[in-house]
Amino acid sequence: MIEPLVYLNGQMVPASQAHLAIFDAGVVLGATVTEMTRTFHRRPWRLDQHLDRLFRSLRYTRMDIGLSKEQLADVSCELVAHNARLLGDGEELGLIHFVTAGEFPTYAGMAGRAARTTPTVCSHTFPMPFELWAKKMQTGTHLVTPSIRHVPPQCYDPKMKYRSRMHYYLADQEARLVDPEASALLLDLAGNVTETSGANFLIVERGSIISPTTVNTLPGISRAMVIELAGKLDIPFVERDLQVFNVMNADEAFTASTPYCLMPVTKLNGVPIGDGRPGPMVRRLRTAWSEEVGLDIERQIQEVAQHRTAAATAGTSGPPVVAPQEAITS
């Protein structure tokens, strides 16, 4: 049986043989930087921008992986080309890159061998789990502001994309006590809106798109695409601090993230935003985005989700894919 390949520490190995040591610093400390890229037409989309951000994160964390960006791009394209052959009709891949700080010396020593202190470098793929987002693309999603606050930039810079995500996990757990289908929208210590666990958050006010500042949020690749499309469509884009008051009184709200591109947000803390339905701005942006990538993004999500769900129900495939955390990141 052909199985997906994984790139791990310089080698392409079958996914079933790709393992991390239990004393890897990514496990022990959560010391991991990461990126997630998706494909359109089974080709990585804006891989160069994602790798640029990964290498900025590596520089910030002082991790030297011994590869150039161009070398890692070649590895990534080889991986996608192989693994895409295993996809069903209409499916796309999520491509994950992650780098840990290597093995944790104390624990590795207790295992009776010297630690490998060079970074652990891994790239792998997974079929995009469109069924996770299909319904919400049509109805919008519910966000809840939990008591858990966003990690302040005085701890580490949010321009780094990382996997130390306990605060996101706790925040989403709390949000789901309010609504099992909700996600958390985190506030900073001053009460300003930041982002969700996997997406940039934006609102629409009187025809303008308003974004929280990047002082407390990741400058997402999908957010950058929104800025690009707004410029082409002559839509004003403004970056400023936002509070819950602004969100509840917005005309529309939406999130921007790699796997689904744009997701309407129709409710905050149980209160409808606008008329409680996906609005015209997100539809306009999604149409423009679809034109850029040469396919109908929402239609692809709906059709593949329907097929995968039907196949799982009929027992002709495994259970729906549960994506890694980065699959819902910007």
Residue 165: name the closest of 175, 147, 151, 152 by CA. Answer: 151
Predicted local distance difference test score (pLDDT) of residue 41 = 97
| φ/ψ (deg, to 5) at 72 | -70, -35
pLDDT in tens, the chain (330 residues): 689 999 999 999 999 999 999 999 999 999 999 999 999 999 999 999 999 999 999 999 999 999 999 999 999 999 999 999 999 999 999 999 999 999 988 887 665 667 788 999 999 999 999 999 999 999 999 999 999 999 999 999 999 999 999 999 999 999 999 999 999 999 999 999 999 999 999 999 999 999 999 999 999 999 999 999 999 999 999 999 999 999 999 999 999 999 999 999 999 999 999 999 999 999 999 999 999 999 999 999 999 999 988 888 887 554 444 444 444 466
Q: Is 211 helix (H, G, I), strand (E, B) or coil?
A: strand
Residue 53: name the closest of 162, 209, 154, 163 by CA. Answer: 162
Q: Tokens representing 309?
A: 């769900």
pTM for the model stands at 0.92
8 A C-beta contact, residue 158 and residue 216: yes
Predicted local distance difference test score (pLDDT) of residue 315 = 75
Q: Is 272 helix (H, G, I), strand (E, B) or coil?
A: strand
Predicted local distance difference test score (pLDDT) of residue 329 = 61
Burial 181-202 (b: 16+ CB within 10 A, else e): ebbbbbbbeeebbbbbbbbbbb
